[in-house]
């Protein structure tokens, strides 16, 4: 199998293309491809992953849609203010995104409107058609080459009736429902529909509803498309799913695991909406219970608050209260200070490569071997990070530590 390179471009269509993660991903792809920066944080740039014929970074052509219309350089300015883009790289970054800004087809009117309460009443069918034609136009602009849709939008509030979508077993049933229902379909659902209907693979990096429902899995299988998600495991949850197995491995009993997150970027701002916050904490508060099977009564809590002075810097405190022999209570506390965008961008690039590679190998439907990348991995019932990493390596047929 040959590596895909710039002669065989791969389109990347970001939902939320003007947001921090999409912009940072674009910048990093260019700067790594041009050897200006090192690919820190990317698995697929490291041995033994590099033995596989992943897509070259210079093959990527970025586009997408967003509800905002400020130029991408505005996003770069927030990177400078948040001290996640060193000032001496600003010019390179601006060059990288200007190329993208020009090449992509924004659909502000369409997507912008669905945020407004009144326009929720535009039927899902109409919105879906708009998304599909925007996507089709992008695909045509890169010569009909394959496209991966990557959802990087903000967390959506859970819409009443959202569960109903999961009740349809086949795409026909879902399709009929979309045409008959008048409104209020969750956007994440529409992005996933549009992607699959336009023959694009789909990566859902958000906690929003996506291709995990049976009707869309059915569609993905028929179209022979892979998809993966959901909710990128970048920081505190990564830590939790890698740390909780220690207690299990040592047969210690965890009594409580409570975590509080504060952050100040636009992702955090969207969480000031209580319904959105609820959706997010739900995605973040299931892993511990799943992993700690020896601690069935563990009390877990997850809090998220918006603290604007932090900018992109997610800060989190986790307090783990556990018991050893004789009932002795001990504690572990974690303090995490990470820049979400910096952690997410390399994961997005890895996922793009891994999904494209799966697609070339003919893998379809939910990609179960990519659970290590997600907080709520589709089709993967084990949240233990080390189990997930082994699944990834076994699926790819590589072994990181041979001979040791």
Q: Total residues at the site for a copy of itself (CB under 8 A)?
A: 78
> Which of 137, 337, 394, 399 contacts a copy of itself by CB under 8 A?
337
If one counts every other C-beta atom within 10 angstroms of the C-beta of residue 192, the result is 29
Strands 226-229 and 201-204: parallel
Binders of a copy of itself among residues 252 to 281 (CB under 8 A) are 252-253, 255-256, 258, 260, 262
Distance CA 262, CA 311 (A): 10
- The number of angstroms, rounded, from the C-alpha of 244 to the middle of its chain's C-alpha atoms is 22
- Of 35 and 328, the one with the shorter C-beta distance to a copy of itself is 328
Stretch that binds a copy of itself, among 12-20, 150-158, 215-223, 307-315 (CB under 8 A): 307-315
Stretch that binds a copy of itself, among 141-149, 167-175, 194-202, 241-249 (CB under 8 A): 241-249
∠ CA 43-45-48, rounded to 5°: 75
50 binds a copy of itself (CB under 8 A): no
325 binds a copy of itself (CB under 8 A): yes
Distance CA 238, CA 257 (A): 14
Binders of a copy of itself among residues 342 to 361 (CB under 8 A) are 342-343, 345-346
- Of 7 and 326, the one with the shorter C-beta distance to a copy of itself is 326
CA dihedral 349, 354, 357, 359 (to 10 degrees): -110
Provide, rounded to whole angstroms, the least separation between the CB of residue 108 and a copy of itself. 28
Q: How is residue 168 written in tokens? A: 């349809």
CA dihedral 124, 18, 337, 333 (to 10 degrees): 10
Provide, rounded to whole angstroms, the least separation between the CB of residue 7 and a copy of itself. 26
> Which of 158, 368, 386, 395 contacts a copy of itself by CB under 8 A?
386
Binders of a copy of itself among residues 165 to 194 (CB under 8 A) are none
> Which of 37, 56, 103, 221 contacts a copy of itself by CB under 8 A?
37
Q: How is residue 255 written in tokens? A: 């009594």
Provide, rounded to whole angstroms, the least separation between the CB of residue 41 and a copy of itself. 5
Using CB atoms within 10 Å of the CB of residue 144, give its burial: 0 to 12 exposed, 13 to 18 middle, 19+ buried. exposed
- Of 197 and 372, the one with the shorter C-beta distance to a copy of itself is 372
Residue with tokens 């800060």: 315
Radius of gyration of the chain (CA): 21
- Of 101 and 384, the one with the shorter C-beta distance to a copy of itself is 384
């Amino acid at each position: 199998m040959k590596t895909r390179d710039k002669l065989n471009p791969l389109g990347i269509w970001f939902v939320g293309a003007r947001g921090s993660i999409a912009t940072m991903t674009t910048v990093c792809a260019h700067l790594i491809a041009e050897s200006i920066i090192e690919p820190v944080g990317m698995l697929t740039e490291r041995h033994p992953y590099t033995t596989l014929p992943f897509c070259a970074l210079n093959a990527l052509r970025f586009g997408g849609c967003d509800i905002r219309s400020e130029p991408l350089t505005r996003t770069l300015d927030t990177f400078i203010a948040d001290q996640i883009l060193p000032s001496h790289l600003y010019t390179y970054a601006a060059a990288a995104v200007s190329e993208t800004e020009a090449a992509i087809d924004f659909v502000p009117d369409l997507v912008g409107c669905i945020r407004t309460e009144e326009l929720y009443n535009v039927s899902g069918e109409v919105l879906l058609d708009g998304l599909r034609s925007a996507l089709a136009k992008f695909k045509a602009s890169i010569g009909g080459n394959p496209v991966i849709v990557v959802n990087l939008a903000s967390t959506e509030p859970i819409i009443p009736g959202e569960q109903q979508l999961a009740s349809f077993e086949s795409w026909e049933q879902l399709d009929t429902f979309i045409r008959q229902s008048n409104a209020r379909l969750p956007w994440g659902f529409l992005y996933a529909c549009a992607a699959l209907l336009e023959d694009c693979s789909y990566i859902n990096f958000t906690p929003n509803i996506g291709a995990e429902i049976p009707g869309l899995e059915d569609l993905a299988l028929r179209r022979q498309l892979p998809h993966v998600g959901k909710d990128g495991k970048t920081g505190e949850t990564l830590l939790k799913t890698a740390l909780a197995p220690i207690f299990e491995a040592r047969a210690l009993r965890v009594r409580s695991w409570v975590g509080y997150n504060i952050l100040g970027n636009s992702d955090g701002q969207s969480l000031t909406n209580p319904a959105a916050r609820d959706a997010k904490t739900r995605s973040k508060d299931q892993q511990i219970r799943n992993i700690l099977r020896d601690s069935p009564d563990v009390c877990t809590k997850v809090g998220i608050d918006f603290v604007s002075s932090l900018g992109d810097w997610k800060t989190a405190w986790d307090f783990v209260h556990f018991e050893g022999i004789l009932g002795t209570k001990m504690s572990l506390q974690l303090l995490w200070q990470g820049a979400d965008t910096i952690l997410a961008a390399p994961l997005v690039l890895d996922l793009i490569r891994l999904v494209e590679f799966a697609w070339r190998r003919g893998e379809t439907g939910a990609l179960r071997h990519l659970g290590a990348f997600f907080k709520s991995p589709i089709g993967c019932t084990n949240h233990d990070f080390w189990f997930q990493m082994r699944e990834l390596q076994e699926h790819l047929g590589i072994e990181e530590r041979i001979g040791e």
